[in-house]
Chains A and B, each alone.
Chain A
Amino acid sequence: MSTVNEVAIFAKGLTRKFGDVTAVNDLDLMVEKQTIYGFLGPNGSGKTTAIRLFTGLLKPTSGSINVLGLTLPNQANKLRMQIGYMTQKFSLYDDLTVKENLQFIGKIYGLSAKEQKSRIEELLSIYQLNSLSTQLSGSMSGGQKQRLALAAAVIHKPKLLFLDEPTSSVDPENRREFWEQLFDLCDQGTTILVSTHYMDEAERCHRLAILENGIKRADGSPQELMNKMSSHVVEIASNNLRQLKKQLISLPEVTSVAQLGAHLRVLVDKNIADPVQFLSQLKLIPKNDQITIVRPSLEDVFVTCTGNNLLNGGG
């Protein structure tokens, strides 16, 4: 893990309610400086709300937040120059061009005319927006908009960057590119908190938290999470997969069954010592079909600890 032993975000017992809905529920969180921290969770799991709490946009119902040594929400104003926030929905001006948007944000952050000019040049080339600089932002593609939004969020070189589903409309190729840029920023000393519902993205984070219904189900590095998993992962190659899936899912020891091409991926409770033997003695699977234990993926972790299958312990 990170060698820098400082904390960028610290939250304890953080809760935010909207009427009857508890969007963030008793969240404890610690994000170390100069790391990329991921929020992985389905729709409505409270990712955006948590980020809004950390940026001072919302006040918590209860619990304490400390960001970069400042107590929120009281010291939110002092935080403004040090954080960058890329919202889930494009929040720059559709009726301004790429360059005009960047100039506007640059001025708002108090860059001098000279700083602004060189910084915008730099950003346009890093985020490949040079050829688009005079295009109206509203007419750009989803991926181009997200590159512009990232450029705008880092224009003042913030210490802490919040990215709310930054790659939701970016193709896989450009997503790799986007993450290269995030690692560059991280190397330059930026702490990044990023929310996502893509497994491959979550796997790139130094650490991540899995959220569901506002509750943190698990956290740790992707490797830790996979090691600590409360299920075995077993792959079965067979003929009658649809039928077999139905039969397996009804067993209490089986937490999940998913079809992946010609295989079934089955999660079996860790209380079963030998899952291969357990499955073969059921007499559901033909003798010469293959049953193998495989290495868990982050998706397996996600499936195991959401729904009703809680991961015991956690970071």
Chain B
Amino acid sequence: MKSLQRVQAIILKELLQLKRDKMTFGMVIMIPFIQLLLFAYAINTNIRDIPVGLVDHSQSALSRILKQTVVATGIVKFTHQYSSVKAAQAAIDKAEVRAVLIIPRDVSQRLVRHPTVGFGLPPSSDQENSRPVAQWLVDGSDTVIAASIKSLRNMPLVELLDKPANRNTPTFEVTLLYNPEQRSVVNIVPGLVGVILTMTMIMFTSAAIVREQERGNMEMLITTPLAPIELMIGKIIPYIFIGALQVIIILGIGHLLFNVPINGGLTQLTLATFLFICASLVLGLVISTIAKNQLQSMQMTIFILLPSILLSGFMFPYEGMPIEAQYISEVLPATHFIRLIRGVVLRDVAVVEMTFDMVWLITFTLIGLIVAAMRFKKTLD
């Protein structure tokens, strides 16, 4: 009973302090808001409108149609014209454009003989048959851009000649579930919930105990009957609500601005988020019992944050990582949460069906709480 009263006292104190700390309170709101806009607009794996140049040696009607067909894919837009290949290469060096399309003088002959066009006439040797229509010169340093332009390699040319397509039957038929239009925001927004919560939750709590030590409050707290576990629980409860607020902001904006579907039920969403917030907060507490000052606690937060962004499956698929990275990934709470929330939000899976991830988050929280309470000594030594 007394114990409950002490926990309540800590919670109330934290809330009052938070209310007066305008900076922190602002960050609670602004971090999810700004991060969401940044990530959703910047991390866009379907690249559009890459600025490219054109060297047109042919200057024919056909070359103009070819150019228009390329523009119609939406992947590139022509911003510059160059007279020679040399000038074009210089432009790429200066990063004026990312790639250049070079249309040769004999483009019409090449086109006619091209197998996809399917005239089969006039007869030609294999050598001539296999000649591409035109050439792309690409700045290959950015692999994503290079891949996008590579995808133009097999661009169908039939529209070019106003001829009915002679489509081949594909080897595989691919049905895309959950994100049929292949928009990356649909996958990013739920994952972003995990990244932002990792950042804010660990950051707030990791500073929580260190700050009291730095300001000298701890010397007074230790001489009171307050038990370490009471202090720990009292410190994390207010932040559970803050975490929930941030989730609402991220998913709300994601839904309104980017049309991210929210398929799963609210209960499932709350459950998954609650488990993850607890795990992150406890991780922050453990950090705060190790760090000697607020700077150290911040550095440790970043130490956790980076792998949480890179290895959690948020940016790169888990399955594609080397086995060592997968081990690290499995340890991070963010990995399990990102699986859970993508499951709930995109596929409407119940949290209990993803038993492993759920149990893992619960275990992490309990062990972390015990470790933090044990590491927190009631002396100044």
Which A residues are within 8 Å of any B CB, using their own CB? 52, 55-59, 73, 76-77, 80-81, 83, 85, 87, 89-96, 100, 103-105, 107-110, 136, 152
Give the Cβ gap from A270 to chain B, nearest Cβ, in Å. Answer: 42
Give per-residue flags for B350-380: 1 if the beta carbon is below 8 A from chain A beta carbons, else 0: 0000000000000000000000000000111
CB distance from B76 to the nearest CB of A (A): 56
A-side contacts of B222, CB under 8 Å:
57
Report yes or no: B381 in contact with A108, Cβ–Cβ below 8 A.
no
Contact: A92 with B13, CB < 8 Å? Answer: no
A95 touches B380 (CB 8 A): no
A104 to B220, CA, bound (A): 12
Q: Are A96 and B17 in contact (CB-based, < 8 A)?
A: yes
Q: Which residue of A lies closest to B215 (CB)?
A: A94
Q: How far is it, in angstroms, between the C-alpha of A91 and the C-alpha of B2 when the chains are bound? A: 23
Asked if A104 and B219 sit within 8 Å, CB to CB, the answer is no
Contact B378 A105 (CB under 8 A): no
A80-B20 in contact given A58-B379, A59-B381 (Cβ < 8 Å) = no
Minimal beta-carbon separation of B208 from chain A (angstroms): 13
Interface residues in chain B, defined as those with a beta carbon under 8 Å from any beta carbon in chain A: 2, 5-6, 8-9, 12-13, 16-17, 20-21, 215-226, 378-381
Instruction: For residue A21, give the distance in angstroms from its CB to the closest CB of chain B.
Output: 15
Interface pair A57/B2, CB less than 8 Å apart: no
Establish whether residues A85 and B220, one from each chain, have CB atoms under 8 Å apart when the complex forms. Answer: yes
CB closest chain-A residue, reference B223: A85
Classify the secondary structure of B's interface with A. Answer: helix
**Cross-chain contact A95 with B223 (CB below 8 angstroms):** no
Contact B381–A104 (Cβ < 8 Å): no
State the Cβ distance, B333 to closest chain A Cβ, in Å.
30
List the A side residues contacting B2 at CB < 8 Å: 110
| Beyond A59-B379, A100-B13, A107-B5, 13 additional pairs, beta carbon < 8 A | A52-B380, A56-B223, A56-B378, A76-B378, A83-B223, A87-B220, A89-B216, A92-B220, A95-B20, A96-B17, A104-B13, A108-B226, A136-B20
Chain B residue with the shortest CB-CB distance to A49: B380
User: Which residue in chain A gives the minimum CB-CB distance to B222?
Assistant: A57
Cβ contact within 8 Å between A93 and B380 = no
CA separation between A93 and B208, bound complex, in Å?
13
Q: Which of A55, A81, A103 contacts B225 (CB 8 A)?
A: A81
Indicate which residue in B12, B216, B218, B225 contacts A109 across the interface (CB closer than 8 Å). B225
A-B contact pairs, 7 of them (CB 8 A): A56-B379, A76-B378, A80-B225, A89-B219, A95-B21, A104-B12, A109-B225
Given contact pairs A92-B217, A93-B13, A100-B16, A55 touches B5 in the complex (Cβ within 8 A): no
Q: How far is the CB of B11 from chain A (nearest CB, A)?
A: 10
In the bound assembly, the distance between CA atoms of A37 and B216 in angstroms comes to 25
